[in-house]
Structure 1
Amino acid sequence: MPQSDDDRLVDLAARLEHEDPRFARSLAAGRPTRPREYRRTSAWWVLIAGLGMLVAGIVVPDGLLIAAGLVTSGIGVQLIDPYERPGDDVRRPSPR
């Protein structure tokens, strides 16, 4: 017996509320915000911190600070990158 469209919509709304409550509340209020996968503020801060560490390591010749800055910058770039690689094993629930 197929589900009615109302049941599917209620299920979808419950999953959205569970996955990203901030986005679901903003939709209900009529002023939508970006979904979680498009919010990258913390990633930009990580990248800025890494570049700051890299510059500080170059100014004060310190190899460990340069290496830490390169690693932190790499992490920041990886967090900013929106592209999901085909090899990534991301399991998403299938629609019913």
Structure 2
Amino acid sequence: MASINTTEVREFSPRVEVITAHIETSLQTGERFCGPLVTGFYPPGDEGEDPELWIEWEGNRIHFNASAIPALFKQVRRAAKLAQEHGRD
């Protein structure tokens, strides 16, 4: 008889990738808004290399270089501002 249960295991090697935060968001009712958001990085290999960072949500990982952070944060702040302005209409 086949099992109906599924088990997923993710192993991390601290020398290969580092998890820096695990963020949980929930509604006031206690219900989770979404799955956890996990952030981390891969240690740079060569000296002077732009570090590679990543964000993962529900198994989907996005990689980007640290040099992209100013543009990324600028656009996240812009989206938040536009969302607030849109709510006032």
TM beyond 0.5: no
Which structure is higher in strand share? 2
Which protein is bigger by CA-based radius of gyration?
1
Shorter chain as denominator, the TM-score bin is: under 0.3
Structure with higher RCO (Cα < 8 A, 6+ apart): 1
Which structure is higher in helix share? 1
